[in-house]
């Protein structure tokens, strides 16, 4: 299967990065190298590009697609959480732009063997890094009812999380739950019929929740953003594309704190003395998120939930 991924808001990202021909740019979620190609195309032979991804198939595709460009290129298997260490290993201190396209690639969703999609019957896997230890089947078959309820409710924002968790536990007492379709059937039976008729596929929220848990997606995002902002040169920009409200809230909060740090003075002080201005690290390029154009949403329905936020380091 050819690694294929449609780049979301391509023009908006390339414009938002404000690319300098001799600059240093990082794609922390390389995927099929769609955005990366646009970056490398605009870099001179003195420019540098660093791309990381957890997926070996993505890396192989990216190396081939980016080979035509003259910039200095470093394609590395890693998670964007570890980008500071990756940059240190390359002797790079500051960079001029960082892109994070959070979530699962179209290729991973459309590859039945990966177990991300409720559309295909496949082993429950959902690992972005196939060398990762935790699989979706581990979550489904070993987490307690309380843990499952928490994961499905918190990460999937699923109102029927308790019922779904209860039925998962009941089913696995008879035999392990091993495939996506087995899990889909349990979810469908757990949601009242009138709710199944609206809001898309009944398994969508639960599959999202389990995928996030398997890959620690929100923890990685939460722990990484501040560190990555600090690696930007003055005027450097970080662009982050998210696909659901949980991710977007994290990006919004961290960007806001970087651009407008909260006052930490004790209540009652007549003058702020906490050096709030000195703690300001960036300015918001996007006060509200950029959304895909209507034509893009028609051509690529998966773009509908995407949001792009951009911060510039000062």
Residue 4 lies in a domain: no
Q: What is the mean pLDDT of residues 286-291?
A: 95
Boundary of a domain, candidates 215, 233, 265:
215
Considering the domain architecture, whether residues 197 and 271 belong to the same structural domain is answered as: no
Higher pLDDT, 231 or 268: 231
Considering the domain architecture, whether residues 201 and 239 belong to the same structural domain is answered as: no
Residue 196 lies in a domain: yes
Residue 231 lies in a domain: yes
Considering the domain architecture, whether residues 225 and 202 belong to the same structural domain is answered as: no
For residue 5, name the pLDDT band (cuts at 50, 70, 90). Answer: low
What mean pLDDT, rounded, does the chain reach?
92
Considering the domain architecture, whether residues 138 and 208 belong to the same structural domain is answered as: yes
User: Of 2-11, 41-50, 237-246, 247-256, where does mean pLDDT reach its minimum?
Assistant: 2-11
Residue 44 lies in a domain: yes
Boundary of a domain, candidates 161, 191, 215:
215
Considering the domain architecture, whether residues 132 and 83 belong to the same structural domain is answered as: no
Tens-digit pLDDT profile for residues 179-235: 999 999 999 999 998 888 777 899 999 999 999 999 999 999 999 999 999 999 999
Considering the domain architecture, whether residues 199 and 127 belong to the same structural domain is answered as: yes
Distance CA 138, CA 21 (A): 46
Considering the domain architecture, whether residues 67 and 207 belong to the same structural domain is answered as: no
Considering the domain architecture, whether residues 88 and 237 belong to the same structural domain is answered as: yes
Residue 113 lies in a domain: no
> Residue 270 belongs to a domain with what CATH number?
3.40.50.150
For residue 1, name the pLDDT band (cuts at 50, 70, 90). Answer: very low
Cβ contacts of 228 within 8 Å, gap of 6 or more: 28, 80, 83, 84, 98, 100, 238
pLDDT greater than 90 at residue 6:
no
Considering the domain architecture, whether residues 27 and 46 belong to the same structural domain is answered as: yes
pLDDT greater than 90 at residue 308:
yes
pLDDT greater than 80 at residue 2:
no
Residue 245 lies in a domain: yes
Task: Specify the number of domains making up the chain.
Answer: 2
Q: Which two tokens stand for residue 75?
A: 């394609």
Q: What is the mean pLDDT of residues 265-285?
A: 85
Considering the domain architecture, whether residues 309 and 161 belong to the same structural domain is answered as: no
Considering the domain architecture, whether residues 178 and 257 belong to the same structural domain is answered as: no
Tens-digit pLDDT profile for residues 294-303: 999 999 888 9
Considering the domain architecture, whether residues 207 and 125 belong to the same structural domain is answered as: yes
Residue 5 lies in a domain: no
Decide the pairing of beta strands 72-77 and 307-313: unpaired
Task: Provide the strand spans (E) within the chain.
Answer: 24-27, 48-53, 72-77, 95-101, 232-242, 282-284, 307-313
- In this prediction, residue 104 carries a pLDDT of 75
Cα dist from 231 to 53, 300, 314, whole Å: 19, 33, 12
* Domain ranges, residue 206: 118-215
Distance CA 199, CA 206 (A): 13
pLDDT greater than 90 at residue 265:
no
Boundary of a domain, candidates 184, 215, 246:
215
- In this prediction, residue 272 carries a pLDDT of 81
Residue 55 lies in a domain: yes
> Residue 156 belongs to a domain with what CATH number?
1.10.150.170
């Amino acid at each position: 299967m050819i690694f294929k991924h449609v780049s979301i808001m391509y023009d908006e990202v390339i414009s938002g990065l404000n690319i300098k021909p001799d600059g240093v740019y990082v794609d922390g979620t390389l995927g099929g190298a769609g955005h990366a190609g646009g970056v490398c195309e605009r870099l001179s032979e003195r420019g540098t590009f660093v791309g990381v991804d957890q997926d070996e198939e993505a890396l192989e595709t990216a190396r081939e697609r980016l080979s035509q460009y003259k910039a200095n290129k470093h394609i590395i298997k890693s998670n964007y959480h570890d980008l500071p260490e990756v940059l240190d290993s390359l002797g790079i201190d500051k960079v001029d732009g960082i892109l994070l396209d959070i979530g699962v690639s179209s290729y991973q969703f459309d590859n039945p063997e990966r177990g991300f999609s409720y559309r295909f019957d496949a082993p429950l896997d959902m690992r972005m890094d196939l060398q990762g230890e935790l699989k979706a089947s581990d979550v489904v078959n070993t987490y307690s009812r309380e843990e499952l309820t928490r994961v499905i409710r918190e990460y999937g924002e699923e109102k029927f999380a308790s019922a779904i968790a209860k039925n998962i536990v009941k089913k696995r007492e008879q035999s392990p739950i091993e495939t996506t379709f087995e899990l889909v059937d349990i979810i469908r039976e757990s949601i009242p019929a009138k709710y199944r008729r609206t809001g898309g596929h009944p398994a969508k929220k639960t599959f999202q929740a389990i995928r996030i848990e398997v890959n620690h997606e929100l923890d990685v995002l939460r722990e990484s953003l501040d560190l990555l902002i600090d690696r930007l040169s003055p005027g450097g920009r970080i662009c982050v594309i998210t696909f659901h409200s949980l991710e977007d809230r994290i990006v919004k909060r961290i960007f806001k704190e970087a651009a407008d740090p909260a006052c930490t003075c004790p209540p009652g002080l007549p003058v702020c003395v906490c050096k709030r201005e000195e703690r300001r690290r960036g300015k918001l390029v996007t006060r509200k998120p950029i959304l895909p154009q209507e034509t893009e949403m028609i051509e690529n329905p998966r773009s509908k939930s995407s949001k792009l936020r951009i911060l510039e380091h000062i």
